[in-house]
Structure 1
Amino acid sequence: MPMFDVYPLYDVTPVSGKGIHVYDDKGMEYLDLYGGHAVISIGHAHPNYVEAVTKQVSELGFYSNAIQNPLQQQLANKIEALSGCKDYQLFLCNSGAEANENALKLASFKTGKKRVVAFTNGFHGRTSAAVAATDNKNIIAPINAQQAVTILPLNDIQGVKTELEKGDVCALIVEFIQGVGGLDQGSKDFFEQVFALCKLNNTMFIADEVQSGYGRSGKFFAFQHYNVTPDIVSIAKGMGNGFPIGGVLIHPDIEAKYGMLGTTFGGNHLACAAGLAVLNTIEEENLMDNVNAMSDYFISKANTISEIKNIKGRGLMLGLEFDFEVGDLRKDLIYNHHIFTGGAANKKLLRILPPLNIEKQHINQFFEALETAIKKVEQTAN
């Protein structure tokens, strides 16, 4: 049976990984500066992670949410302690799309309204309401398009005010650093004014931290760079270091009722063990401090390369923008220099999302390769 052909694939077959490297079926080592879409937060096969997952799967890998699972409460407590998000409630699920789907559903339950406001170049997932709130018509099927969603440009505070004052918006959802869209950010004034408008208009303010959370921005959540308090926070990618896990942080003003949300696999024992291993490692290895130090170093190196026209993002969620499309550059990096990088909706942007324990030597290796690859691409173009 053939696979359903929806992914354009590089001709590389990773079979193992350690730290910031992966190894293919021919034994070739690759520097992983993409982490499988920012999923690998503490490095491949981290000993803490391997030990925790191995121990848990040998005891109890899964049971449904019909029983007590103390690991869920341990995970919730650890998220609260490291994030500083006091008194929120946690609902566990399996992915970022599912987290955003439940976030939007909660907002509609809470407000009794159904329209959503989202933003240009935003990406929130590929399911139902989450994909309807995503600014990509190519992945929105007719069944998704029946959702009531208004998409506005970032920093259009008047547009937000106009839409929210119509009184039918249940939720405004925003990435504080856009991922797939190309690392764009709203201004500080914009985010803080949006938060105030949501409060005035009985609209739930949803922070999509699926990619930007878990220390990637240099703070635990990217929204913490601003003076805002989201009603709902969605989390996923770096949460499990590769194990499928997602979640929703829910403000205490939103009351839980039996049956309003549910999931078969969400918050299972193995997922919680993986999630706890990630948080323990972030704490023990001071990885958020490392994010800030390595981000400064990376940006200082990027500023020495004239072909880089713009540096976007923050922390270790960065984009290098050129005045040419980077498809060939990415191919050269992976095939000739054995370095994984990412692309974005902005075809001129190279996306960098390494594990949070990256070191200067890895950054140096990348920039040496990048300068060589840029020259090759320019020579080919000429």
Structure 2
Amino acid sequence: MKTVYLDNAATTPLRKEVISEMMTVLDSDFGNPSSTHSFGRKARSHIELARKQIASLIGASPNEIIFTSGGTEADNLIIKSSCESLGVKRIISSEIEHHAVLDTVLKMKSQGIEVCFVRILSDGSIDYEHLETLLDEGSSKKQLVTLMHVNNEIGNFLDVQRVGDLCAKYQALFHSDTVQSVGHYKWDVSKVKIDFLNAAAHKFHGPKGVGFAYMNKNCKLCPQIIGGGQEKGIRAGTEMTHNIVGMAKAFEISNAHLENEKQYVLTLKKRFIAGLTSKIKGVAFNGLSADTESSTYTLVNCRLPLTQSKAIMLLFHMDLKGIACSQGSACQSGSQKGSHVLSAVLTTEQMQYPSLRFSFSIFNSEEDIDYVVEVLSEFCNE
């Protein structure tokens, strides 16, 4: 049976070069990087080289990069520590953030931090005028704005330059969850007024279980995991050398080939949209995911004209046909909860119809796209 993986927003396959790099470290350089003997020093040299590589690729200094277990830990570290270390008393976020941010923000609210949500427009975009109003209203307090760069369900962009300028105007800290954009778009933190961002290696063909946080050198945060002095005292625990090396390699390759790979994947996305539009009457696209100028090139979120009884079988049918896709964030899809992102964007009537997220990578082909369009259109039209 043919299999097609179109759930790359959930995780991506490893590049072979990354596996090779990791295997070398696993096989030969297994020392504890905190040890002072030669084995430890060798492991430490790998970690610090990776830190320099990653920093250079986003225009940061090596001492501004902290390695974590992934995007979720980095979000927690940045948001919680901003309140504890930097005196943040008010957080401005949105109701369509990834739960790694949204749940952490709500946790801070339960501990006495004021929380405000910026208005979301019908196309899933942030209301920037409302954001400025919120910043102005809270200007007497230390504020943190935390808004994601690329939405993981509908693919909408945040104008980080505009938000950064607004935050600077009102002397607020700015964090952007960039898990869906690092490795897919060029970043230069020296040209954007941003204090924090974060990444997860498995979103750009690196290993799971590792990520990084960028923290502006002027923002000194306290650790959320204690018990050691690793990562400049900000994140305790023995570093996974092989994963960190794999992440740096994946990031290096992604950045080196970014423009060519972006154009290739964008071609797949356009082919997919054109195929669905021509073969499924009444198909619609959520947020701005069908607008290739206003959303990421890596995903499409489509709403299908199916009855409730047929909608129940949709994801099961796709799986039987060897197709991997998602009804929303993979972090939530097993919980039977509806998408909080779509609930914030769609009308009650629109929510009655099933939506699927398809996300693409360089490992997909035009044949994959055509197969998925054919399977989906047959199911919808039968």
Query: Structure 1 stretch 241-250 or stretch 306-315: which is displaced more?
Result: 306-315
Taking the aligned partners of 2:248 and 2:161, their CA distance within structure 1 comes to 32
Partner residue, 1:20: none
Taking the aligned partners of 2:117 and 2:60, their CA distance within structure 1 comes to 28
Q: Does structure 1 residue 342 correspond to structure 2 residue 326?
A: yes
Deviations 1:278-309 (A, max 9, x none): 1243256x254222332134224413424331
* Larger strand percent: 1
Taking the aligned partners of 2:364 and 2:58, their CA distance within structure 1 comes to 21
Say whether the 8 Å CA contact 1:100–1:124 is kept in structure 2. no
Alignment match of 2:377 (pick from 362, 366, 371): 371
Q: Does structure 1 residue 231 correspond to structure 2 residue 216?
A: no
Q: Does structure 1 residue 39 correspond to structure 2 residue 11?
A: yes
* Larger helix percent: 2
Partner residue, 1:50: 19
- In the TM superposition, 1:1-382 aligns within 5 A as 30-35=3-8, 37-40=9-12, 43-44=13-14, 46-61=15-30, 63=32, 69-84=44-59, 89-108=64-83, 111-125=86-100, 131-133=103-105, 145-146=110-111, 148=113, 149-154=115-120, 155-165=126-136, 166=138, 167-180=140-153, 182-186=154-158, 188=159, 191-215=160-184, 219-220=185-186, 228-236=192-200, 237-238=202-203, 241-255=206-220, 261-265=234-238, 267-283=239-255, 286-304=257-275, 305=277, 306-310=281-285, 312=289, 313-324=295-306, 328-335=313-320, 337-344=321-328, 345=339, 346=342, 348-376=354-382
Normalised TM-score (structure 2):
0.72
**Is the alpha carbon distance of 1:303 and 1:220 closer, same or farther for their aligned partners in structure 2, counting shifts above 3 Å?**
same
Say whether the 8 Å CA contact 1:53–1:274 is kept in structure 2. yes
Say whether the 8 Å CA contact 1:124–1:208 is kept in structure 2. no
Partner residue, 1:12: none
Gaps of 5+ in 2: 121-125, 223-228, 290-294, 329-338, 343-350
Letter of the 2:110 counterpart: A
Q: Alignment length, in residue pairs?
A: 322
Letter of the 1:159 counterpart: H
Letter of the 1:352 counterpart: F
2:152 match: secondary structure = coil
Taking the aligned partners of 1:144 and 1:170, their CA distance within structure 2 comes to 13
Deviations 1:184-216 (A, max 9, x none): 445x4xx5443222112221111101233211x
Give the root-mean-square deviation of aligned CA atoms.
3.3
Taking the aligned partners of 2:142 and 2:149, their CA distance within structure 1 comes to 20
Say whether the 8 Å CA contact 2:6–2:360 is kept in structure 1. yes
Gaps of 5+ in 1: 1-27, 135-139, 377-382
C-alpha displacement of 1:246: 1.4
Letter of the 1:318 counterpart: V
Normalised TM-score (structure 1):
0.72
Identity of aligned residues (%): 12
C-alpha displacement of 1:263: 2.7
Say whether the 8 Å CA contact 1:290–1:357 is kept in structure 2. no
Taking the aligned partners of 1:314 and 1:85, their CA distance within structure 2 comes to 24
